[in-house]
Structure 1
Amino acid sequence: MTSITISRQFQAVLQSSIIFIITFLTFSAFFISLESQSPASKTLHISQSECKAWSTHRKWKSLKFKITKRTKLFVKLEDFFWRKDVSRLPLPYGMQGSELLLLKVLAATANYDMPAHIENLDCRTCVVVGNGYSIRNTSLGSLINKYDVVIRLNDAPVRGYEEDVGNKTTMRIFYPESASSNPGLHNDEDTLMVMVPFKPQDLRWLKEILNDEKRDSRGFWKPPPLIWLGHRSKVRVLDPHFMHQTANKLLHIPFPPKIKQKSFHPTTGILAVFVALNYCDVVHVAGFGYPPKQDQQQPIHYYGNQTMKSMKDSSHNISREARALKKLEDLEAITYLHPHQ
């Protein structure tokens, strides 16, 4: 009788142990599955076919873009004297009337190229990180850091937001009013600071900064930094050709505007996407998309307190840009890294 009781107790213990082990393994598999599906665990897998498709696919014909990996993004001092197609348009679409300011800026920077280790890549993977609220809580930071080229905009912060936006920055596209006094706070040591001149005053500001001249803050809609700690060797000036083509080919903004018609310029965000399409083999985007216009209290950035209300008198046509991005997405020219509106 005693041996039977011991046998039954042993069977009960064994059965409980088996149930425990099965339960443990089931929950472990469940949590591992959840973890593997989280954005933070994503890895960057780009096939050779994806790399080659961007310059040969018929979608470029429908967009009428001139895509080439040999595209030079920045204005060069030596090119300035020999270019046969000197623009007859004023800023931001050409350099007419600002040639002397440009020459003085270029003479002070003396560097006009992308880093050789990026130029020489067989397949350039690029991500344009927008400043939109949509990137909040996406945990995309580690994935963003894996791209060859990470393009950021204006004075968007990195510190404190690394989990969502990463901390690698290859290029930061900005203009004086959107410049941060100390670029070293939210950029890498080798980040290229790419100036987009919207008006002659922008080049004047950069000339005064680079040559340590007396600052003149007239002509800006917002006072730019009077002290800017960016290193001149990392400064580049984006060729106005890209702003003109963004407006003309991508957004179809008429130029010059009709009389009494409000003039719109592309945002630095849509400009950065167009630059990436011209320079990169694979273009992904994150942090793009505005909330509905009727939701005036919705935050528009992943940082700060600005809401849609602040866009009321904007000089940008965000509806037109949203349609252009949707077209690029539908044509698979760009890929979003997260859900968006």
Structure 2
Amino acid sequence: MCPVTKVFSFFLILLFSSRIKRRTKLFLKLEDFLWRRNASKLPSQYLFDGSLLPRNLNMPTSFFPFPHSLKCKMCVVVGNSFAIKKTSLGSAINKYDVVIRLNNAPVPGYEEDVGNKTTMRIFYPESAISNPRLHNDEDTLMVMVPFKPHDLRWLKEMLYDEKRDRRGFWKPPPLIWLVNRSNVRVLDPHFMHQTVKQMPFQPTTGFLAVFVALNYCDVVHIAGFGYPPKSDQQQPIHYFENNTMKAMKSSPHDINHEAQALKRLEEVGALMYLHPHL
């Protein structure tokens, strides 16, 4: 019998100030791409709560369904934290039904610790790389998080080979994106909308991925989460690059609040870490 996360409802009550029902619809569907002008009370960078969707992003209906129909979905969210370094978790990660990775985190050269299976990669235009085939499986779903209307514009320009417009991005996204069009999805803005609305901090892509997994999966494990103490300014942040905690000074994310939220989820049994953590 599948060890379903029975504490999910309690988790929602504990973590959020109002009750939110579990939602397993992960991606936007064709009928979602309509012009709607709804007022949003979210901060300006999170106006994407279902409004102002581009009329002409016409994609076939088969473009959106998630192919996995397992009765029991064992999922692992692999974060980019330096904490996963030298854990030798690669073979264990590869055994999960669904492996979720984040942004531009590489796989080749790090397989012993992070594995090489990728079911979904959650990203946004600024974190995309020109050739995602280098770090993903042939059938990996490339799941874009629509933080802002510019993000869907970028996606449309990439998929339809239109003139690129880099205005509106805090970092220039790729001008070339060598991706299999049939593997691209758009995360339902519901997840970002609810996370930002209810939490007292701007979530990282990793925390958003955990929320997605808790909605969709029966069992959720995580690895590669956790930042070193802020006092250790020279400690690397990620397992794959040399950025240190010093770079977090200007970050919009509240890593302390996020760590506390993940700890509470662990305490109520909603998720489990695969390695020791602070």
TM-score by length of 2: 0.90
Cα distance in 1 for partners of 2:11, 2:158 equals 42
Cα distance in 2 for partners of 1:140, 1:230 equals 28
Partner of 1:311: 248
Partner of 2:22: 67
By relative contact order (CA 8 Å, sep 6+), the higher-ranking structure is 2
Please point out which of 141, 160, 167 is paired with 2:90. Answer: 141
Partner of 1:322: 259
Give the Å deviation of 1:247.
2.1
Partner of 1:114: 66
Structure-2 change in CA distance of 1:229 and 1:146 (3 Å): same
Cα distance in 2 for partners of 1:188, 1:125 equals 19
Q: How does 1:196-211 map to 2 (within 5 A)?
A: 196-211=145-160
Please point out which of 219, 232, 239 is paired with 2:168. Answer: 219
- Tell me whether 1:129 sits opposite 2:70 in the alignment: no
- Tell me whether 1:339 sits opposite 2:265 in the alignment: no
1:305 is matched by which residue type in structure 2?
Answer: N
SS at match of 1:311: helix
Cα distance in 1 for partners of 2:64, 2:247 equals 36
Partner of 1:268: 205
SS at match of 1:224: coil
Partner of 1:9: none
Partner of 1:99: 53
Q: Identity rate of aligned residues, in percent?
A: 66
1:167 is matched by which residue type in structure 2?
Answer: N
Give the Å deviation of 1:202.
1.3
Give the Å deviation of 1:93.
4.5
User: Over residues 284-312 of structure 1, what are the superposed CA-to-partner deviations in whole Å (9 max), with x where a residue is unaligned?
Assistant: 00000011111111000000111111111
Give the Å deviation of 1:95.
2.9
SS at match of 2:4: helix
1:244 is matched by which residue type in structure 2?
Answer: H
User: Over residues 34-81 of structure 1, what are the superposed CA-to-partner deviations in whole Å (9 max), with x where a residue is unaligned?
Assistant: xxxxxxxxxxxxxx26226355x644443434225xx21001112456
Cα distance in 2 for partners of 1:108, 1:213 equals 18
Query: 8 Å contact 2:221–2:273 — kept in the other structure?
Result: yes
Cα distance in 1 for partners of 2:49, 2:88 equals 39
- Higher-Rg structure is 1
Give the Å deviation of 1:88.
3.7
Cα distance in 2 for partners of 1:65, 1:125 equals 22
Q: How does 1:148-159 map to 2 (within 5 A)?
A: 148-159=97-108
Unmatched segments (≥5 aa) in structure 1: 1-47, 254-263
Query: 8 Å contact 1:125–1:282 — kept in the other structure?
Result: yes
2:3 is matched by which residue type in structure 1?
Answer: E
Give the Å deviation of 1:318.
1.4
1:94 is matched by which residue type in structure 2?
Answer: D
Cα distance in 2 for partners of 1:278, 1:247 equals 16
Partner of 1:4: none
Partner of 1:33: none
Structure-2 change in CA distance of 1:332 and 1:82 (3 Å): farther
TM-score by length of 1: 0.74
Query: 8 Å contact 2:48–2:148 — kept in the other structure?
Result: no
Give the Å deviation of 1:270.
0.3
Structure-2 change in CA distance of 1:309 and 1:127 (3 Å): same
Higher helix share: 1
SS at match of 1:295: coil
Cα distance in 1 for partners of 2:163, 2:129 equals 19
2:202 is matched by which residue type in structure 1?
Answer: H
Give the Å deviation of 1:248.
2.9
Please point out which of 202, 225, 230 is paired with 2:179. Answer: 230
